[in-house]
């Protein structure tokens, strides 16, 4: 908890790059995606993946997938301590091997500020790499009174018709993330988008939508 609090103090919840402020993201050329996927039935063997895509064409420029042995135990709310070290290593390898392909932003399969202590995997990775990061989760994390109840499901059904979004506002009154069923998602299952680092929520949502050919944004899907 103390380490999360220490690192969490470094999270920047606003746009820091010129391309983020442009309506069409002019200047954005490389978008990365990261994920750690476990072998079924074995929570210690995983594949750590980093892929960099061109933008806006979304063509693969670089990929690094390595089998790793995960030794840290799983503890709810502390997933980053299991996964982030391997993702940081992948970013460092890219920096050493192909520095010109360094991504300008990372989409992370996980949460950012949408976390019990406001410091999920996307925040953790963002602070350690100093890269803009966006959390993209497939399931709702129960935080600050947020629950997937009938009201939540009704909101999802309504925004599917509109191809729009709605904010995930907790009992604290703070918008911790955004639910998206954008026009590009082609799915009834929403995405839960949250700020990781060096990006505001509105920009994060626009970016994720622009990277979706299917439900999962292309950098993470790849």
73-102: average pLDDT: 94
Distance CA 143, CA 209 (A): 24
Per-residue pLDDT band for 186 (boundaries 50, 70, 90) equals: very low
Residue 57 lies in domain = 1-220
Q: SS3 string of 23-51?
A: CCCCCCCEEEEEEEEEECCEEEEEEEEEE
pTM of the shown model: 0.92
List, for residues 37-48, the tens digit of each pLDDT value. 999 989 899 999
Return the minimum-mean-pLDDT range out of 10-14, 81-85, 214-218.
Answer: 214-218
List, for residues 112-170, the tens digit of each pLDDT value. 999 988 899 999 999 999 999 999 999 888 888 888 888 888 877 777 654 578 888 88
Q: Which of these, 197, 199, 193, lies nearest to 180 by C-alpha position? A: 193
CATH number at residue 174: 3.30.2170.10
Query: For the chain, how many structural domains are there in total?
Result: 1
List, for residues 49-71, the tens digit of each pLDDT value. 999 999 999 999 999 999 999 99
CB 91 within 8 A of CB 85: no
Q: Is the pLDDT of residue 185 over 50?
A: no
Share of the chain above pLDDT 70, in %: 95
- Whole-angstrom CA distances from 171 to 85, 168, 175 are 32, 10, 10
Mean pLDDT across the chain = 91
CB 195 within 8 A of CB 107: no
Distance CA 158, CA 166 (A): 10
pLDDT for res 181 = 72
Distance CA 203, CA 92 (A): 26
């Amino acid at each position: 908890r103390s380490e999360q609090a220490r690192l969490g103090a470094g999270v920047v919840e606003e746009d820091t790059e010129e391309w983020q402020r442009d309506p069409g993201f002019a200047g954005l050329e490389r978008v990365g995606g990261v994920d750690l996927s476990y072998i079924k039935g074995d929570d210690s063997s995983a594949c750590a993946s980093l892929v960099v895509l061109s933008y806006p064409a979304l063509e693969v420029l670089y990929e690094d997938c390595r089998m790793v042995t995960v030794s840290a135990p799983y503890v709810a709310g502390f997933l980053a301590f299991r996964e982030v070290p391997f993702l940081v290593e992948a970013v460092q390898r890219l920096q050493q091997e192909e520095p010109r392909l360094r991504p300008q932003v990372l989409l992370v399969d996980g949460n950012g500020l949408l976390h019990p202590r406001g410091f999920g995997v996307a925040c953790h990775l963002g602070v350690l790499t100093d890269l803009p990061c966006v959390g993209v989760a497939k399931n709702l994390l129960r935080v600050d009174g947020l629950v997937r109840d009938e009201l939540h499901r009704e909101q999802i059904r309504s925004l599917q018709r509109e191809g729009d979004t709605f904010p995930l506002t907790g009992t604290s009154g703070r918008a911790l993330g955004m639910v998206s069923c954008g026009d590009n998602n082609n799915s009834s299952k929403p995405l839960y988008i949250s700020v990781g680092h060096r990006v505001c929520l509105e920009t994060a949502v626009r970016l994720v939508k622009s990277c979706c050919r299917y439900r999962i944004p292309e950098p993470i899907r790849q």
